Structure 1
Amino acid sequence: MAQVTYTEDNIRSLDWKEHIRMRPGMYIGKLGDGSSADDGIYILIKEVIDNSIDEYVMGHGKQIDIKIEEGEVYVRDYGRGIPLGKVVDCVSKINTGGKYDSKAFKKSVGLNGVGTKAVNALSDYFKVQAIREGKTKIAEFEQGNLTKDQKVKKTDEGNGTLVIFRPDENIFKKYKFRSDYVENQLWNYAYLNAGLKINFNGKTLVSKNGLLDLLERKTSNENLRYPIIHLKAEDVEVAISHGNHYGEQYYSFVNGQHTTQGGTHLNALKEAIVEAVQTHFGKFDRRDILSSIVAALSVRVEEPVFESQTKTKLGSTDMGPKGPTIRTFMKNNVGEELDRFLHRNPETKKALEKRILQSERERKEIAGIKKLANQRAKKANLHNKKLRDCRAHFSDGPRKTDEEIRLGTTIFITEGDSASGSITKARDVQTQAVFSLRGKPLNCYGLTKKVVYENEEFNLLQHALNIEDGLDDLRYNRVVIATDADVDGMHIRLLLLTFFLQFFPELVRNGHLYILDTPLFRVRDKQKTFYCYTDQERQNAIKSLRGKPEITRFKGLGEISPGEFKDFIGENIRLDPVVLNEETDIDEVLQYYMGKNTPQRQDFIIDNLRVEKDEVDQDEEEEIAEIAAEEVTSELTVEVE
């Protein structure tokens, strides 16, 4: 083995922007292309807006204007503006900022002085403008390099800061901002800062009642068992109710940061709720109290410690260097207030007790079959032919596995041996797992969670994901449905969507569920090969090649060779996220698509039926539409014996 020299020549010092560009995952998590809510381009937006929010919290500026056009982001606040002599330093020198003085920014998220520097370094264009007391200063950068440093000038504009940036396509490959992700992100800022006006691409987002508004928008009042309980104290705000859904549903925040993976503050909230209910009623199991709960939590912690750079999970145990523990704080400010609220509101107390008793009955009903099913799953896991696992897992934690690797962990849910075989051979064994379905899964709409344990395939799937008791130990960040692009494949996709929405809606709400896009056509000649995902792409490929190219129509995933598949699930992977909008009512969606044949769905199919024929008389067209409607609706609703 050749000996490797280790001399002074091996030692290299990187400047701030080189280090950020070489190791972006250390600063913004995974890069991504915008198909996931935690992709880097959204973290860049967040880092800029966080500074504007801090100004609002300090009492400066009541409005933020945000625009996104053709991949370029514009953020203008009306706070005090960066001190003019420090404009360049604040966006280009690590450990330079105004948040180190805890008196000025006592409970801010961005305390590391990195935020806008990372945005600057990872953008091929970055502009910052500060306006203070009738004067303005502008600086422009490319990939962190200063290109224009204008002198201070007079201006009539109001105080504040403007940042414009365009992510670097060399780092964020083929990125695209999804407006629904950005809007959800901005709504969270509005809920956490009641009264703040956010203008985004022509829309105005504002909240008057904070987390009460958040929970009202995220849930349907018809599905809540009692009116939302809204509690507020210094440094904490909570909104709580119970619904008819399965699982627990939480929206937690620390100093304005959306902690999608929870942390010590969320654990403390659960403990406080359980203890308050048990003390008030003198009984009840923790599992029954938290079952079907929906809650939002916002807490402000001094000098918070997070478990990763992207700040999605709180690790702090205390409210601050001289503050109480978070557990004690939550017990005193939430638990005791909840107990008092129940004493003052007997109708809510009665409805809460009824919901808990229902959860208790349901838990005891499935206890026996759950035990047997888990024993079978444990045996199957020893030699589970359905699961080809990967080495890294999302539940590993940042100390065991690099953040970017954890965020890249993916499981593909496929149907049939041929499709599973291609993906298994092509996958990255470090981060990509495969779960094979035997055939079409059960239509579980309208069934109780008992079916998850009675159906061996569903039980093995929930154990493969490790989501039986919630998302705390979810093994894969991305759960990808990978089915053929034909009628059967679409049907399987719909049945799997029903399974997750019915029993594990938090998996979808937290942005973990995706659909895999695979090419429909391969167009090639001796020199070039194009993989086309739409008919338009196919036509464009044909035009770009001379003569008569070879055109292959991929009818199923099994027809794509492992060599080709490697590209489709690697760096160029195309994923369609399953997104639940603010107003989405899961029960209504499932009833419409998966319930018994509804007149509305039949009318929709008839109205949207396309007949590939030049001339069809009206009577014949109506007859064809009626037959097709019956066939398609029966296809969508599998009768369960």
Structure 2
Amino acid sequence: MAELIPQYNEDSIRSLDWREHIRLRPGMYIGKLGDGSSVDDGIYVLVKEVVDNCIDEFAMGQGKRVELTVSDGQVTVRDYGRGIPLGKVVDVVSKINTGAKYDSKAFQKSVGLNGVGTKAVNALSKYFKVASFREGRTKVAEFAQGVLTKEYKEADTTENNGTLVVFRPDDTVFKHYHFLHEYLENQVWNYCFLNAGLLIHFNGRNYVSKNGLLDLLTRKTNPDNLRYPIIHLKGTDIEVAMTHTGDYGEDIYSFVNGQHTTQGGTHQAAFREAFVKTVREFYKKDYDASDIRQSICAAISVRVQEPVFESQTKTKLGSQYVFDGGPSMKAFVAEFLGKDLDNFLHKNPAVAEALKKRIEQSERERKELSGIRKLANERAKKANLHNKKLRDCRIHLNEEPPTKGREEYQQKQLESTIFITEGDSASGSITKSRSVETQAVFSLRGKPLNCYGLTKKVVYENEEFNLLQHALNIEEGLEGLRYNNIVIATDADVDGMHIRLLIMTFFLQFFPDLVRGNHIYILQTPLFRVRNKQKTIYCYTDEDRQRAINEIGAKAEITRFKGLGEISPEEFAQFIGDDIRKDPVLLTQDAQIQKLLEYYMGKNTPDRQQFIINNLRIEKDLAEELGIEVEA
């Protein structure tokens, strides 16, 4: 028995250099890897780390233009700041804990403070190039997976001052990766909203904002749905914009030093609390906090010296103070809203009256729901004891990570997923093949109710909706969300598509924040299996099928998967593991949820009938497209 215990001696201790450590534990530096289908996948963190340096230059008054090009999997970023000091170009991108941002005089209230960002990009890139231009001189270096491959001598240049970075993510780390334009564009807009006057030239188009967070909320809301005009307040190191809409939930965007903190943090918590306190004091009435914040759409941005984030990817602020020896974040935000928002409401009585009506409407709706909510929650508690619909996992998004192994645990929290499936066979296959650590399964018993146009009362009256709401833990808002990824997994047929639309309608109608927060996905599963005795290829499109036939040969065995239940658990494990393919459910910047639902899920209007007629594809057309003969 003793021989089976591995030896623990001097040879067991390894010292990794910076590059090896980043490549061995990338999650500690950029969160989850992913393939680009999720907004928090690592390839977007790589882009952000490089652009953050450009934004920090702009914040210091150096360079008002940034050029970003993303094409064929390669990223090019050029700023017109001061440029990296030429003698330190190689060190800055390849020596850990090397950078200017430890000097608070050179970079005040910067995002990147730990000297890791560009080193992580370098180590995780198949190709990485950095060039600095300063006062008519230039220095260029090239790397592969963090290893210096070519260092050019300093030379004269006619280029304007600044820095150029070109990189291609390593496809052995980021498998099947692809950049989604919508995610990148949203990133670019956020940079502009938070840095009024900055111009970003992204893939041939200019992006600029003159009014900061006011512009952000203008793009995120439908003017016909606003209860009152957007309130826009600015102070030293803080900016706030807010309004109320007719939608359910809270929609709050928070930022620190130009960084979008998607998981909130101390500043967002301080805003939610201070807004309630200010409103109660203004109206001299003890409104319920949920009624005050129901349907709010807001954005808050703060500037903090040496911010402390709860993870390397900087998605949640942990700083308790604005600066060393300064006010607490809670007191800072409370003082600002208590003065500026109170003054605004006194000076704008029409807005104050509209806000009061919105709060009182939420109060009436909550009281109408209170009776049925109590009964529904009691039923849900009983069901949860023996809930056959939910096969839960061990790690959840809303849990406090342990101190030991914190970074790895946080990465797994980002991977936490719940599959929403229909039918016992599909649920059985996923349940048997899933990762019990990070993947849960919720089984529907059939087609859900079309809830378009219904009130939230139906969420409690419909047992299935109520159980789903409890499984996700979103009854009181997104703060308690248990899974980062909500994946709709239905058959690739007409019924499956219908179920998919009904579930999406449920989320858009009652929990739109889940969609806006990029938590909803559609699972891709293969349509065909093409194989012979030596090889098996799974195909997601007809083009894939044809390529597989050409590769394997005309005698290949071809299986058409009609439903998820036909895929064995052993096969399913390949489709929901590291190589999972999922399409995000995205809302465009100008999408208006109620109009969208009315068109697709409302009454069958002439416009929708014409849309169906124009896009109808009959069996004969499909057969000709696929080269299949059909009988007349």
Give your verdict on TM over 0.5: yes
For the Cα contact (< 8 Å) 2:421–2:490, is it kept in 1?
yes
Q: CA deviation at 1:613?
A: 4.2
Equivalent residues in 2 for 1:454-473 (5 A)?
Answer: 454-473=461-480
Mapped partners of 2:141, 2:123: distance in 1: 14
Q: Paired residue for 2:66?
A: 64
Q: Paired residue for 2:184?
A: 182
Q: Paired residue for 1:315?
A: 318
Q: Which runs of 4+ in 1 moved over 4 A?
A: none
Superposed CA deviations along residues 353-380 of structure 1, whole A, max 9, x for unmatched, are 1111100000000001001111111111
Q: Paired residue for 1:512?
A: 519
Q: Paired residue for 1:162?
A: 164
Q: CA deviation at 1:397?
A: 3.0
For the Cα contact (< 8 Å) 2:522–2:584, is it kept in 1?
yes
Q: Paired residue for 2:417?
A: 410
Q: Paired residue for 2:272?
A: 270
For the Cα contact (< 8 Å) 1:236–1:298, is it kept in 2?
yes
Q: Paired residue for 1:595?
A: 602
Q: Which blocks of at least 5 consecutive residues in structure 1 are unaligned?
A: 615-641
Mapped partners of 1:89, 1:78: distance in 2: 20
Superposed CA deviations along residues 176-197 of structure 1, whole A, max 9, x for unmatched, are 1111110101100000000100
Mapped partners of 1:126, 1:613: distance in 2: 50
For the Cα contact (< 8 Å) 1:308–1:398, is it kept in 2?
no
| Length-normalised TM-score, structure 2 | 0.96
Superposed CA deviations along residues 433-470 of structure 1, whole A, max 9, x for unmatched, are 00000110010000111110111100000110111111
Equivalent residues in 2 for 1:85-124 (5 A)?
Answer: 85-124=87-126
- Is 1:343 the counterpart of 2:346? The answer is yes
1:563 corresponds to which of 560, 564, 570: 570
Equivalent residues in 2 for 1:293-442 (5 A)?
Answer: 293-399=296-402, 402-442=409-449
1:493 corresponds to which of 486, 500, 517: 500
Mapped partners of 1:171, 1:399: distance in 2: 26
Q: Paired residue for 2:136?
A: 134
Q: Paired residue for 1:49?
A: 51
1:302 corresponds to which letter in structure 2? Q
1:39 corresponds to which letter in structure 2? D
Aligned length: 614
Q: Paired residue for 1:29?
A: 31
Q: CA deviation at 1:537?
A: 1.0
1:249 corresponds to which letter in structure 2? D
2:227 corresponds to which of 215, 225, 228: 225
For the Cα contact (< 8 Å) 2:528–2:539, is it kept in 1?
yes
Q: Which blocks of at least 5 consecutive residues in structure 2 are unaligned?
A: 622-632
Q: CA deviation at 1:404?
A: 1.6
Mapped partners of 2:338, 2:572: distance in 1: 53
- Is 1:546 the counterpart of 2:553? The answer is yes
- Is 1:480 the counterpart of 2:487? The answer is yes
Q: Paired residue for 1:574?
A: 581
Superposed CA deviations along residues 492-511 of structure 1, whole A, max 9, x for unmatched, are 00000000011111111111
Mapped partners of 1:521, 1:475: distance in 2: 33
Q: Which moved more, 1:333-342 or 1:224-233?
A: 333-342
Q: Which moved more, 1:20-29 or 1:316-325?
A: 316-325
Mapped partners of 1:610, 1:572: distance in 2: 31
For the Cα contact (< 8 Å) 1:307–1:398, is it kept in 2?
no
Q: Paired residue for 1:529?
A: 536
1:165 corresponds to which letter in structure 2? F
Mapped partners of 1:349, 1:333: distance in 2: 18
1:290 corresponds to which of 287, 290, 293: 293
- Give the SS at the match of 1:140: strand
Mapped partners of 1:27, 1:240: distance in 2: 33
Shift in alpha-carbon separation, 1:613–1:146, aligned structure 2, 3 A: closer
Mapped partners of 1:346, 1:338: distance in 2: 12
Q: CA deviation at 1:567?
A: 0.3
Mapped partners of 2:516, 2:37: distance in 1: 14
Mapped partners of 2:487, 2:413: distance in 1: 15
- Give the SS at the match of 1:394: coil
Root-mean-square deviation (Å): 1.0
Shift in alpha-carbon separation, 1:532–1:410, aligned structure 2, 3 A: same
Mapped partners of 1:610, 1:316: distance in 2: 56
Q: Paired residue for 2:218?
A: 216
Q: Which moved more, 1:417-426 or 1:279-288?
A: 279-288
Mapped partners of 1:391, 1:270: distance in 2: 30
For the Cα contact (< 8 Å) 1:122–1:171, is it kept in 2?
yes
For the Cα contact (< 8 Å) 1:122–1:143, is it kept in 2?
yes
Mapped partners of 1:613, 1:514: distance in 2: 32
Q: CA deviation at 1:4?
A: 2.4
Q: CA deviation at 1:146?
A: 0.6
1:598 corresponds to which letter in structure 2? T
Mapped partners of 1:395, 1:270: distance in 2: 18
Mapped partners of 1:123, 1:135: distance in 2: 26
- Give the SS at the match of 1:252: strand
- Is 1:16 the counterpart of 2:18? The answer is yes
Q: CA deviation at 1:69?
A: 1.4
% same residue: 70
- Give the SS at the match of 1:309: coil
2:580 corresponds to which letter in structure 1? I
| Length-normalised TM-score, structure 1 | 0.95
1:507 corresponds to which letter in structure 2? L
- Give the SS at the match of 1:34: coil
Superposed CA deviations along residues 77-121 of structure 1, whole A, max 9, x for unmatched, are 000000001100100011110001112222111100000000000
Q: Paired residue for 1:639?
A: none
For the Cα contact (< 8 Å) 2:60–2:108, is it kept in 1?
no
Q: CA deviation at 1:249?
A: 0.4
